[in-house]
Structures are given as structure tokens and as C-alpha cells.
Structure 1
Amino acid sequence: MAIAVPFIAFLLIGAIAAYHRLRLPVWAALTITALLGCWLFGANPTATLIATAVVVLVSVPLLLPQFRLPFITAPLLKFYTKILPPLSETERVALEAGTVGFEGELFSGKPDWNVLLSQPKPTLTAEEQAFLDGPVEELCRMTNDWEITHVHADLQPELWDFIKKNRFFGMIVPKEYGGLGFTALANHKVIQKLASVSSVVSSTVGVPNSLGPAELLMHYGTTEQKDYYLPRLADGREVPCFGLTGPWAGSDATSIPDYGIVCTGDWNGAKVVGVKLTFDKRYITLAPVATLIGLAFRMYDPDGLLGDKRDIGITLALLPRDTAGVDIGRRHFPLNSTFQNGPIQGRDVFIPLSQLIGGEACAGKGWQMLVECLSIGRSITLPSTASGGSKMAAVVTGAYARIRKQFGLSVGRFEGVEEALARIAGNAYAASALAEASASAVARGELPAVPSTIAKYHCTEMGRQAAMDAMDIHGGKGIILGPRNYLGRGWQASPIAITVEGANIMTRSLMIFGQGAILCHPWVLKEMKAAGLADEGERLREFDKNLFGHIGFAISNAVRSLWYGLTSSRIGAVPGDTYTRRYYRKLNRYSAALALMADTSMLLLGGKLKFKESLSGRLGDVLSHLYIASAMLKRYEDQGRPQTDQPLLAWSFHNSVHKIEIAFSAALRNFPIRPIGWLMWMLVFPWGRRAQAPSDRLGHKTAALLMSPNEARDRLAVGIFTTPCENNPAGRINSYLQKVILAEPVERKFLKALKNSDIEALDFDKQLDEGVREGWITAEERRQLEELREMTIDTIAVDDFDTEELRSAGYRHLPRENRAAA
């Protein structure tokens, strides 16, 4: 045993130092002190000397820069530059365009939770809240989604007028240009509320306040462009669209085939230098009604009119609709959502250089401009839309499941339905927290490149799942379209959000971890920049500092991952209350494991990692659910740790950590270098996978929250349109919940008495008459049951039509003798 003591002390001090990330001199001093103690207290002298020699051999060369730099760092730098995958210009711009927020802490393996919890609570200004309570509420009241999607295939003229008059298109435009000057958080709240009643209205309002001319002009426009266009965009005189996607370049914006040739031409009667454009775009939202077109194209200068560079690069321009040669085609028909969407073409369309966004100075900078603004659009419009739809699905489906009865029991009481209800509630809670977190990041002035992709992918996926579960519970009510159907159009539209601004498959498998592994990692980007420095001495010193910082970081994460795995994350100082501390500790564990996996993957796979899309997607899932769980904990803290929300938080959190372990498991079992995968498994899962999906008991509690009035349900419904009115059948059904619950004891009493009686009446009204005469119910209770009947009928009713009403206008306009052939 005396022989083992020095080595145990050596390993123990090393593990403690690595766990706490102590510097190398501190580790060396502590270890030498411990070994000296072993010597003095009778440990085996030979073993002590051997352990001391190891400490000296490791620490002395590393602590002496005169030795370390030329003999250790320089060869490693040479090797690093050989294996470093080359970064294209587009990749470099994408990495440098975004900022890093709390997601960087999640990549650290040791998150500083104070960074998250010290962020200000998201709040609206009084003016923003008044806009939500006033014009937004009124627009929701005016909105009849059936009229929009089936009768008119467009917003009615009065809706267009209301939107323009109240400057919905100018929410992000500063007040000095006539806009509302709202924060990103207010933008999120408006889109969320509109999406809860109509995805067509929300997309119509969302696009001009997302990626488009206004956003680009605010960041890059010349003074003249801002002064002219921003006031016109704010008050609706100009309706904008932005042409990026085409038949040959969808998500891969860097491969845009649309081009512009620098030349001279006529503009407003004068001969000027400009660009002659040829382009073919499709899937462009608002294109059919747009008056101002933003356009992305590749700019060439073959005659050298602007300088020596012939391929100037991706450039952005503004085209008035009436520009000669611009052809806005007929409308696309996106899954019966009928928002304005269509193609744009142009050939030899001449514009002056003054129509380039930012003028000539911004020629060739379009990719950087797009990357920055795309991250803002992904952070707000699509997550907010999904959040609004998910929250409405949760609230109204909970009410429907309580009101709708089968076999004398509310359908929500069946365990299969409870399971789906819990999933809807959990997804709505998570999507709401995630959408608000990403919008708040933009409101704080961040450009959240990684959180925006997380929010876009996961909010839209959770929205799609919530829509599917809501449809399953509603059954026939959900599939029969008509004015009473509040789910069908949302279900049809759910795949739309997962395709735009980067298809979700690509977002998950390429972007989330691909960007996060470099942008959020505390050392990788610094090492890459250091290796690219021109001055040889500075390059060596900077690389040395970052390399050994990275090595210590990797060792620490291996130790932390193993420790958390062995202790099941039950030990460690974290914030929170007695209920949530266990959650923070679990996230610490998975953060360390993610950092370890990221380092191992990048070290061993190098440039090949970008082609390992399954591995990248699974590690992206880990990062995503770490961020989602963090957003939910922040929301829980901001709302004052409400006890009634705990089932929602618990279901959503356990769902996330279960998915984290599934993703880790799949990544490790399929790691390209199998022995490394086995070794990593022992560090990440020393006792095997332990996280479980939310239990049935927890699902029961969560589903119950949706089926009765309570504070948690009310908080979940905040920000959506629940006002009961003619155009809002979902709001009416939600408003019935309280009265239905109050009537349930009377209904049970009446049905029990009726079952045990010999009354032969089959008609409901006659049965009620008999019930009053027999004394089973009072006259007041009879009115209560009649009202219950009316509310139930309104809840379950669907629409019917004459065949002619459902035929297309094209069919109806055919001569009668030609209809049979058609």
C-alpha cells in the first residue's frame, strides 16, 4: 500500500487541479507538496521519487518558455497548420459575423450561470405593450383566417390598410424615419400573437421586419437610401420583398448564379455607371405585391470600371418594381397558406451603383450582410411564429380535451391523449422560452449566430410536433376545414417554416454544431487566428498561449465529465432553489461532456468533421438542448420560480436531457474511430445511460394543467390571442373551460339519475323537463346544462359546404358544357 500512496496522491491532486482548472505552476507546487508529505509520513521512497520525477519532467519543460516555445510549441504549430482545414472566404465571414453569448458558456464545460441569470428580465416598454393591447389585438379581431386562406386567397383590403396605417411594416424602423422603433422583443411578441390566429398574417407582417430591405438599410444603407426608403417602408408606401433563393441555389447562398455586370447605362435620363442584372428567383415572400425588391446577386467587373478586381462577389441591391426588365411572375401556392409568395425574374435589368445597398462601398460585401441579418431573422420571425402556434395549440387543445367526451369521460382523461397533451404542453413551454431567449439576445445588441439556428430549427420542429399532436386529439374536428377549424391551416403550414432560411435538415446537420464548435469554443477560433498571424514571433507566442490553454481545458473536461458521471451530477455548487439545483448540475455534466466530445472530434477528424454530418447533427442536438434547458431555467427564474409551473418545467427539462443522452449515445456508438468511441463512453457514461423520458406520472400532471384553469395555464397563454369573438373559434372554446368545469357535477348528477330512471324520453330537452319535474335538477341547473350543451356543440361542430362552393374559380368560370371534360 505504501508503494501506491505517492501515485494515488499524484493522481488525486491532478484530478482536483484539472476539475478546478488550476494553472500548471499551482498543480506542480501542490503535487510536490503532497509528495513531500508522503516522504515524511513513511511512503515508499522509491515510489515517491518516481512520482516526483514525473512531475518534474512534465512541469519544468512546460514552465520554461525558452525551452517550450522552440522545442514543443513550434513543431506543434507546424503540424497544426498542416492539418488545419482551409477556411473559405464565405466560411470565414460566417464565423466572424456573429457574436457569442451564453452559448459560449455551454461550450466551456464549466458554465458560469451568473452570466445567464444576470441578464435583464425581458420586458416591453409601455409603448410596446400598448401596441400589443391596441392595434395588435384589433388586427387579431379583424382576422378571419378562413376568409383569407379560402375565400380571398389573400388578406382582405381592410387588413392591408390597417397593417399599413398602423405601421406594422415599420416595427423595426427607427422613429426618426417614421417607424415604431420597437425592440426585437416587441417584434417577437407581435409576431407570436398574430401567429396564434393566422400564419398568413404573421408572415405578412414578419417578413418586412426580418430579412429584407429595411433591416439591411438600417445596418448598411447610405444616408440617402435611409432618408428616402425607410419612411416609405415604415408607412407602407413601399411593400418590400427580398430575392435570395433561386432554382439553382437554395440554402447554398454562396453559389448564387444570378449575376450583374458592371457597365454604363441610362438612368433617369443620365449616363451613369451601374450594373446590368440577370436573375431568376423563386419562393419570394411578398413578391406578388412588392413595390421594392431587395436582390442578392454576384457582381462582375470584366472591363475594370471599378478597379482591378473582376469577380467582386455577392452584392445586394434595391430594385423598384417598375424597373425596366423586372418581371414578377404569378403566385406560388404554399400548402394552402396563401401568403403572398412568388417568383421574380429579370434579364439585362440596369440599375445605377447608387441602388446597391450601401452604395459602391458595399459592393461584394453581400454575404457578410446576409449572414448578419439572417441570424436576426432566424432569431425572431420563425421562432415567434412557432411559439405562437404551439401556445395556442396547448391552450385550446387542453380545453377541447376537457369538453369533448367519449364513453362518458373527457377524452383528455384517457392516458393516450394525456401523453399527447403533455407533449404539446412541454413543447409549447420550451418553444416559448427559446423564442423569447433568442429575441432577447437580439434586443441586447447581440448577433446570435448559433442561438438563432438553434431557435429556428427547434422551435419550428416543436411547433410541427405540437400541431400534429393537436390534430390527433381533435380528430375529425381538426381535419374538416372551414370557419370553425382553427388547426387545419396551421397543420398545413407547419412544413413551411422548416424549409425557409435554411432547411431544417441542413440547419441541424451542418450549422448548429459546425458554427458552434468554432465560434463558441473558448480556444479553437483563437488558435486558428494565431496560426494565421503574419509576424512569426507573435504567431508562435499567441499559438503557444492558446494551445496550452486548450490542452488544460481538454484535460479538465475529461476529468469533470468522468466525475459528474460517477456522482450522477449530485455534487457541485450551483444557483437555483432546492427544486432546480439538480437541473443546473445535470447541465454542468453535459456541458463538460460536450466540450470533451467536441475537442476529441476536432482533434481526431480534423477537416473531415464537416463531412460527418450525422456526428455533427447529434452533437448539435446536445448543444441545442443545453441551450433550450438553460432558456427554460432562465424563464422560470424571471417569473419568480412559480411552483405551479414546476410540472411544465420538469417535463420539458427531462425531455431535453433524455434527448441529450440519446444524442451522446448515438454519437459515441457511431464514432468513426471505434476504440476512441469506447474510451469516450467510459468517460461520459461510466454507469451507462441513466436519463429517462418524462414519466407517465409527470405527463399526467402536465396534461392536467391544460385541462383546468390555473396560473400555469394562464402564463402559458400570455401573448396569444384568446379573446372569444366571431373570428376566433379557438378563443371561444378556451373561454368555455371554466363554465364547463362548473357544470360537470350537475351533468354527472343528471346523467346518473337518468340512467337509474324509467323515463322514456330520448330528446335532450324533454329529458331536462323530466329532470326538473322529478327534482333531479333545479331550474337554474337546467339552464346550466342547456348552456353546457350549447358550448359543447360549438366546440365539436364542423362546417359543411355545397360542392359548388369548394370548386375553384377557374372551374366555375368554365362554360357549363365544358365542366364535365374538366
Structure 2
Amino acid sequence: MSVIAPWLAVLLIAAFASYHRYSLAVFAALAGSALVACGLLGAEPTSLAVAAGLLAVVVLPLLITPIRRHLITSPLLGFYTRILPPLSATERTALEAGTVGFEGQLFSGKPDWNLLLSQPKPMLTDEEQAFLDGPVEELCTMVNDWEITHVHADLQPELWDFIKKNKFFGMIIPKEYGGLGFSALANHKVIQKLASVSSVVSSTVGVPNSLGPGELLMHYGTQEQKDYYLPRLADGREVPCFGLTGPWAGSDATSIPDYGVVCKGQWNGANVLGVKLTFDKRYITLAPVASLIGLAFRMYDPDKLLGDQADIGITLALLPRDTPGVEVGRRAMPLNSPFQNGPVRGKEVFIPLSQLIGGEEMAGKGWQMLVECLSIGRSITLPSTASGGSKMGAVVTGAYARIRKQFGLSVGRFEGVEEALSRIAGNAYAISALSEAAAAAVWRGELPAVPSTIAKYHCTEMSRQLVSDAMDVHGGKGIILGPQNYLGRAWQATPISITVEGANIMTRSLMIFGQGAILCHPFVLKEMKAATNPDRAQGLRDFDRLLFGHIGAAISNAVRSLWFGITNAAFGSAPGDAHTKRFYRKLNRYSAALALCADVSMLTLGGKLKFKEKLSGRLGDVLSQLYIICAILKRYEDQGRPVADQPLVAYSVIDAVHKMESALSTALRNFPIRPVGWALWLLVFPFGRRATAPSDRLGRRVAALLMSPNEARDRMADGVFTTPCANNPAGRINSYLTKVVLAEPVERKFLKAMKDSHLSTLDFEAQLDEGMRRGVINAEERRQLEELRVMTIDTIRVDDFEHSELVAASSLKGTGAVVRAA
């Protein structure tokens, strides 16, 4: 038997055990058995003895725990402690604030799909569904977005009254305080539906149900604060806003210059201990109409009135609008999307300690409060807004592309338009799945720090692409503003979602991977805690267990990455049906690749990794696309694996895999330590990149789904306002699709007769008369053609105005009104 047989046997056993993540003891037993078998089969004795000896030298010290800890772990712990980048208190708070759900499995390299598929299907209660079908539907019928955005630059009084009366501002407030007590899922569904008709209405409703006084009071308020403020917030007696962003530090709460100094002052006629605040906030949504202002500031106690600490830290407070010294500035105008927004300022504004959210006990804990609640609001408001607008944009663009004709064909039949329609459909499906996944995580009781960031970034980015494609398909219909235009304001408002709740550039390059690599990793954060454990003995035991678990997982991920790269993930067990098994295998491959690249990046770059924003952004893209695919596949399973949706699932998953492989490829080609990048490339892409974008054939099938009545299209439209009413031109156009499709054969027959029979008139009504006389069409077919004509005219119609109606600020002439910079 060959001299290399023992070595080859050990190597194959090592690869097999690493792939399946068997323990070291199991590997040793399998390797020993393989060597015995080689001996029995006549392997060269010297080679066999050397292989067995080397195996024993490597394995035995690792298997004997006291020896391993003394000889290996203890020195490594000392080295690790020295190189461990220090975590500031704010960084530690941010890392420890969220919970880890299935996204943690994506960093394992071997996801347990049972955990994903066993998650309960998100379901509304009967009461929540009734609210969607009742007050939400009624509010949508009242909305005239042109009146809001162009005529009034605000919600009309009747809309404000309806919103307050029906407790839209109190959706998340518990019933015992007068709110609706709805779940995060219901919040998502409401915002999604409102956003499909007006982003101004959805943001007006979304902000009080996101990060702000209501959310913060529910989690941290004193009982007295809850009893007083929550009922008033629930029924609209108080309109809240929250002041975080400022001119000098943006939304970075850890660096805000706004401050409060502990002192005594007058409050309601009494001399009490409190805080004198100086602050300057801007971009504060609802500030111009708010009666209750939440405020983040840094609290100082130079006279030690509360204790020995002079710098108490970030603190949150409630300021009634009429507090002396509070100045609510003039309104800002966010890109012709006139939701209420503006600055809030104050100089030496005194409030008692009882106005601190949570009272004196929560002074200095504002950063913790913010990061714990931020993931909830970020999971819902902007992803849901993107979902509502995108779903509506997809179905109405599909209808428009079928109804609008050029050169005798529906414009959607042209391949260039078809390509845009396929992107629209794929993005809308992915956005809908991702936004619901993020909301469902909160619905299950999680604090999804990383998924919320992924959802905010990618829902808004995909929505930006979608509205751009929709504008291209609509052409002139999309650029002429007026009551008939349902896209123009969405196009203008898109950068708002990109900017708020963390600018997308920073979110991608710093937050997604930067937070995920530590919080979601199965070992890293635990190793950091073990290394800094004051109990050195316990810390050594924990670090030993974690370190060697980490090493084993890293070796496994290298083996799995190489195997999946060689086989293109064509083999292996996977859940799903015949249509989706291949996608789960792809996820197995790229989960292993992400885990491998994350480990190597952290090992080789250490604390410098946080400054490698391009690398962090690209690895964050890999994590994000993995999570998006999981959301898509979970949605497909929850909906009962509908066959009609399979083209949408395939398109959106294949597109995500293509983006993921592109991001991973770019990360490795530009890895800061070039030899390391080359080695990773060989493990991840042994035969080069193989993922491709969705095919034209698949794109054609997906585009066709948007342009024809079918159940997949109906599911796409589920949850958005498609009721065809006077104020909803998009809903009207969408409602025409079925009748247009039924009338098309009659239209083709009539047009052919016109061409072949040389009808003698050019007037449409006269042509219909002549067609009936000649027996080309009957009375029912004439009715269909007349109705088709009316529907087509309504679909392509745009608005026009008198010149005086368009003169900028014509109503302000002679008033002395000025625009000034804030």
C-alpha cells in the first residue's frame, strides 16, 4: 500500500470531521481507526508510525483539558488580553443592547434551518385586522396627497382629527393607558398601507409609534409619568416629537453638545432640584406641531448635588412645549414631502428631575435607553414605508405598462421596459419579505439590532431603485406633477428615507457588519467577556472552551467553503421543496464563506478593522443578502409554498446571490493584506465566480406577473390601498387591468378590421358605428371598446395648470416673508 496512504487517510478524515463539525474526540477515534485499517491493508510501517505519532502529539494535549489550559490556553489568553481593542462604555452598551435571532446562525457557517422554519408565522389578531379594514381603509380614502403636498403643505384638519380620534398615535401604547395595544406586526401593516397612498401620512403616524416619548415611557418611565402622559399621547391630546439630531453631532448621541446642569430652580411655584438645559436640535419630525418634546442631552452635576459623579452622561427628558425658554423654530421643507419637521432650541431651560424619563434613577442611562429602543422603531417605520410604496409602485406600474401602448403594443412588451419591470417585481418582493421579517422579529419579542439595520438600509435602497425604474416606465406620466401623478412625490421623497434614522452610507459601511461581526458571532463577544472576567479562573475556563470551539468552527468553515466552492453547493442536505432546496444550499455555502472571512478579517486586522469601512461595507452586504434570502424563503414557506410565486422567489434570490458574490469577490480582491486575500479567494472561489444575474427568460416571467391578473400579483398588492376612488389614481389604474386584458382580443380584432376593411372615418365613435354596421363588432364588444378608451385616457392623463397657480410663493407677495438658513 502506498506510503502516502496513512497521511491521505488522516487528511480525508480531518476534512470529513471538520465539514460535519464532529468533536476532537470523534475525529481522533475516526483517524485512529483509519490508521489501523491502513496497517491491516499493508501500509508502509514507517509512514504509518510517523502519522500515528504525529496524530498523538497533536491530539492528546488538546484532549487533556488541564494540559491544554496550562500549555496553550493560558498563554493565548494573555496575548489576547493584550491585543484586545478596548471597548468604550458606549460601544459595550450598543453591543449588549440587542438580542440575536436567526441572524446569529448566518455567522455560524452551518445554519440550523429548523430554527428559521419553526418560527411562528406572523399573524394579526382579529382586532388588528379590523382596524386595518376599518379606520385605516377609511383614512386612506380621505387622503388626497396632492392637497397635502402642494396645496396645504400639511395634513388637512379633518385628517389630523381622524388620526387622533381613532388613536393612530397610540397604536403601541397598552390598552390600560388608553392606547390600542397593537403588536409590532400591526404597526408594520398600518404604516405599510398608509405609505402606499401618502408618505406624509405614514411618517406622521409612524413617528409617534417609533422611537420617542411613547416608546421610551413604556419601557423606562416612572409610574407617575406613564399614568399622566401615556393616555394623553394615546388619544392625541399630546403630539410628541423627539430631539436627538443636532447641527454639530448629527444623530450621534454619544457626542452631542447639548447639556443640562443640575441645579435648583422654580417649577410650578416651588423651588425644586432639577436641570438647566441648553440645546439646539434640528430635523425633528413633528416638532412644529408637537406639544411634548423628548430630548437627549448630556447631564452634568458640577456641584455634586446628586452624588460624587460630575459627568452623569447621556440623559433623556420630557419638555412640555410651553416650558419657559423652549423655542420651536420655523418649519423645514423636506424635498416637497411636507411632513412636519423643524428645529427645537433652548437656553438655560429649567425642568425638575421628575421630567427626566424614568426619573432621577435613569439619569445617565439615556444611551442605553436609546439603543435598546432604536432597533424597534428602525425595524418598522422606514422598512414598512418602503414596502408600502414599493408594493403599490409594482402593481400600478405593471398595470400601466399593460394599458399604455406604443406602436400598437403594450409598452411592457418591449424588452427594455420588461427588464425594468422584472427588477421592480423582484425588488418589491424582497422589500416586502424583508420588512415583514424585521417587524416579525419585534413581534416575537426580540430586539433585532442587526436585522433592523439591514432592513432600514436595504429596504430604502431597493425602494430607491424601484421608484427610479417605475419613473422610467411611466415616462411623461411620472414627471408631470399634479393630482393624477402618484409617482412624482415618491421620487422626491426617496432620499428622505435614505437619510434619516442613520444615513445609509454610514449604516452600510460601519453598522451592519461592524455590529453583526461581534454581536451575532457565536464566539467573539463571549470570548471578549471571558477575557475580561475579574474571576481569572472562571475566565480561563470559559475562554478555553470558547477558543477551541472557535478554532474548530473556523477550520470547519474553511473546509466547507472549499467544498461548496468546488461543487458550487450542488450537494448536501437542505430543507425546502424541489424549487427552493438549491437556494438553501447556496445559503450554506455563503454562510460558511462569511464566517470564514469574518474570522480571518478580525484575526489579521484586529482593531484596525473598524477603520476599513469598504471591507466592512462589503462583508455587511454579504450578511445582508444572506438575511434577505432567509426572509424571502421564510415568507414563501409561511404562505404555503405558492407555485405562482416561484418565479418571484427565484428572481429575488438569484439577484441577491449575484449581489452577494459580487460583494464578497470585491472584498477579497481588495483585502488589505494581499496574501491573505489570495488565500481566502482560493478557499471561497476555487474555480472563480459562478453566480450570474437572473436570466432574461426568468425576468420575462416575472414581468408578466405584474402585467396580468393572477394570484401572485394579488399577494403583491395585499396590504396596500388599491381601492379605486377619486383620490387614488393608482388604485383606479390598478383596477382597470382585468377589464383591459378582457378587452384586448376585441381591440385587436377591431384594429385589424380597420386596417383590412379601410373604414371610411377617422373619428373613434364613428368608427365604432361603422364597425357595428359591418358586423365587425357587436353591442357588447362596442361597450368594451368604449370602456377601454375611457380607462386608457384616465391611465395616461396628466394635469395642467394656469400660470398663476404655479408662480412660486405667489400668496406671500407683499407679506415680507423670507426664507432663512437654520
Is residue 2:226 matched to residue 1:216?
A: no
Corresponding residue for 1:575? 575
Offset from partner CA, 1:662-689 (integer Å, 9 cap, x none): 0110000000111111111111011111
> In structure 1, the residue corresponding to 2:522 is in which secondary structure?
coil
Is residue 2:414 matched to residue 1:398?
A: no
Q: What's the offset of the Cα at 1:66? A: 2.6
Aligned residue pairs, count: 818
Sequence identity percentage: 78
Corresponding residue for 2:63? 63
Corresponding residue for 2:342? 342
User: Greater CA deviation, 661-670 or 56-65?
Assistant: 56-65
Corresponding residue for 1:514? 514
How far apart, in 2, do the equivalents of 1:143 and 1:605 lie? 53
Corresponding residue for 1:371? 371
Corresponding residue for 1:181? 181
Q: What's the offset of the Cα at 1:257? A: 0.5
* CA spacing shift, 1:817–1:627, aligned 2, 3 Å: closer
> In structure 1, the residue corresponding to 2:765 is in which secondary structure?
helix
Amino acid at match of 2:473: I
Corresponding residue for 1:297? 297
Corresponding residue for 2:261? 261
> In structure 2, the residue corresponding to 1:720 is in which secondary structure?
coil
Checking the alignment, whether the CA contact within 8 Å between 1:251 and 1:503 is kept in structure 2 is no
Checking the alignment, whether the CA contact within 8 Å between 1:621 and 1:663 is kept in structure 2 is yes
Q: What's the offset of the Cα at 1:540? A: 1.4
* CA spacing shift, 1:91–1:815, aligned 2, 3 Å: closer
Amino acid at match of 2:224: E
Offset from partner CA, 1:50-93 (integer Å, 9 cap, x none): 11111111111112223221221111111111211111111100
Offset from partner CA, 1:361-412 (integer Å, 9 cap, x none): 1001000111111111110000000000000000000000000000000000
Q: What's the offset of the Cα at 1:2? A: 1.1
* CA spacing shift, 1:817–1:538, aligned 2, 3 Å: closer
User: Greater CA deviation, 472-481 or 82-91?
Assistant: 82-91
* CA spacing shift, 1:623–1:818, aligned 2, 3 Å: closer
Checking the alignment, whether the CA contact within 8 Å between 2:244 and 2:251 is kept in structure 1 is no
Corresponding residue for 2:780? 780
Checking the alignment, whether the CA contact within 8 Å between 2:171 and 2:209 is kept in structure 1 is yes
User: Greater CA deviation, 799-808 or 313-322?
Assistant: 799-808
Unaligned residue ranges in structure 2 (runs of 5+): none
Q: What's the offset of the Cα at 1:160? A: 0.2
Amino acid at match of 1:55: L
Corresponding residue for 2:312? 312
> In structure 1, the residue corresponding to 2:722 is in which secondary structure?
coil
Corresponding residue for 2:429? 429
Q: What's the offset of the Cα at 1:816? A: 12
> In structure 2, the residue corresponding to 1:644 is in which secondary structure?
helix
Corresponding residue for 2:115? 115
* CA spacing shift, 1:226–1:751, aligned 2, 3 Å: same
Offset from partner CA, 1:455-480 (integer Å, 9 cap, x none): 00000111111111100100000000
How far apart, in 1, do the equivalents of 2:588 and 2:378 lie? 27
Corresponding residue for 1:168? 168
Amino acid at match of 2:574: V
Corresponding residue for 2:99? 99
How far apart, in 1, do the equivalents of 2:733 and 2:92 lie? 52
How far apart, in 2, do the equivalents of 1:789 and 1:688 lie? 54
Amino acid at match of 1:89: A
Q: What's the offset of the Cα at 1:251? A: 3.4
Is residue 2:759 matched to residue 1:743?
A: no
> In structure 2, the residue corresponding to 1:111 is in which secondary structure?
coil
* CA spacing shift, 1:382–1:748, aligned 2, 3 Å: same
Is residue 2:572 matched to residue 1:563?
A: no
How far apart, in 1, do the equivalents of 2:495 and 2:356 lie? 34
Corresponding residue for 1:812? 811
How far apart, in 1, do the equivalents of 2:761 and 2:816 lie? 52
Corresponding residue for 1:531? 531
Amino acid at match of 1:682: L
Corresponding residue for 2:84? 84
How far apart, in 2, do the equivalents of 1:62 and 1:228 lie? 62
Amino acid at match of 2:482: G
Is residue 2:454 matched to residue 1:441?
A: no
How far apart, in 2, do the equivalents of 1:517 and 1:773 lie? 75
Corresponding residue for 1:503? 503
How far apart, in 2, do the equivalents of 1:702 and 1:102 lie? 29
Unaligned residue ranges in structure 1 (runs of 5+): none
Is residue 2:623 matched to residue 1:629?
A: no
User: Greater CA deviation, 728-737 or 23-32?
Assistant: 23-32
> In structure 1, the residue corresponding to 2:578 is in which secondary structure?
coil
Corresponding residue for 1:752? 752
Matches for 1:446-461 after TM superposition, within 5 Å: 446-461=446-461
Offset from partner CA, 1:128-184 (integer Å, 9 cap, x none): 000000000000000000000000000000000000000000000000000000000
How far apart, in 2, do the equivalents of 1:598 and 1:257 lie? 35
Q: What's the offset of the Cα at 1:817? A: 14
Amino acid at match of 1:770: E
Amino acid at match of 1:167: K
Corresponding residue for 2:32? 32
TM-score (norm 1): 0.99
Checking the alignment, whether the CA contact within 8 Å between 1:293 and 1:319 is kept in structure 2 is yes
* CA spacing shift, 1:728–1:681, aligned 2, 3 Å: same
Checking the alignment, whether the CA contact within 8 Å between 2:213 and 2:294 is kept in structure 1 is yes
How far apart, in 2, do the equivalents of 1:596 and 1:812 lie? 63
Checking the alignment, whether the CA contact within 8 Å between 2:253 and 2:314 is kept in structure 1 is no
Q: What's the offset of the Cα at 1:758? A: 3.0
Is residue 2:715 matched to residue 1:708?
A: no
Over the residues paired in the alignment, what is the CA RMSD in angstroms? Answer: 1.2
Amino acid at match of 1:29: A
> In structure 2, the residue corresponding to 1:498 is in which secondary structure?
helix
> In structure 2, the residue corresponding to 1:748 is in which secondary structure?
helix
Q: What's the offset of the Cα at 1:254? A: 1.0
How far apart, in 2, do the equivalents of 1:61 and 1:815 lie? 90
> In structure 1, the residue corresponding to 2:347 is in which secondary structure?
strand
Checking the alignment, whether the CA contact within 8 Å between 1:566 and 1:687 is kept in structure 2 is yes
User: Greater CA deviation, 747-756 or 352-361?
Assistant: 747-756
Q: What's the offset of the Cα at 1:46? A: 1.1
Matches for 1:649-688 after TM superposition, within 5 Å: 649-688=649-688
> In structure 1, the residue corresponding to 2:179 is in which secondary structure?
coil
Offset from partner CA, 1:393-438 (integer Å, 9 cap, x none): 0000000000000000000000110111010111110000000000
Corresponding residue for 2:127? 127
Amino acid at match of 2:80: Y
Q: What's the offset of the Cα at 1:210? A: 0.3
Corresponding residue for 2:614? 614
Amino acid at match of 1:511: M
How far apart, in 2, do the equivalents of 1:818 and 1:196 lie? 34
Q: What's the offset of the Cα at 1:815? A: 5.0
Is residue 2:280 matched to residue 1:280?
A: yes
Corresponding residue for 1:485? 485
Amino acid at match of 1:172: I
Matches for 1:325-364 after TM superposition, within 5 Å: 325-364=325-364
Amino acid at match of 1:447: L
User: Greater CA deviation, 86-95 or 538-547?
Assistant: 538-547
Offset from partner CA, 1:623-651 (integer Å, 9 cap, x none): 00000000000000000000000000000
> In structure 1, the residue corresponding to 2:351 is in which secondary structure?
strand
How far apart, in 1, do the equivalents of 2:582 and 2:335 lie? 44
Q: What's the offset of the Cα at 1:811? A: 2.7
> In structure 2, the residue corresponding to 1:608 is in which secondary structure?
helix
Q: What's the offset of the Cα at 1:44? A: 1.0
Corresponding residue for 2:412? 412
> In structure 1, the residue corresponding to 2:499 is in which secondary structure?
coil
Offset from partner CA, 1:221-279 (integer Å, 9 cap, x none): 00000000000000000000000000011132211010000000000011111000000
Is residue 2:226 matched to residue 1:193?
A: no
> In structure 2, the residue corresponding to 1:276 is in which secondary structure?
strand
How far apart, in 1, do the equivalents of 2:775 and 2:250 lie? 71
How far apart, in 1, do the equivalents of 2:9 and 2:587 lie? 30
Amino acid at match of 1:346: G
> In structure 2, the residue corresponding to 1:345 is in which secondary structure?
strand
Checking the alignment, whether the CA contact within 8 Å between 1:245 and 1:284 is kept in structure 2 is yes
How far apart, in 1, do the equivalents of 2:434 and 2:697 lie? 25
Amino acid at match of 1:390: S
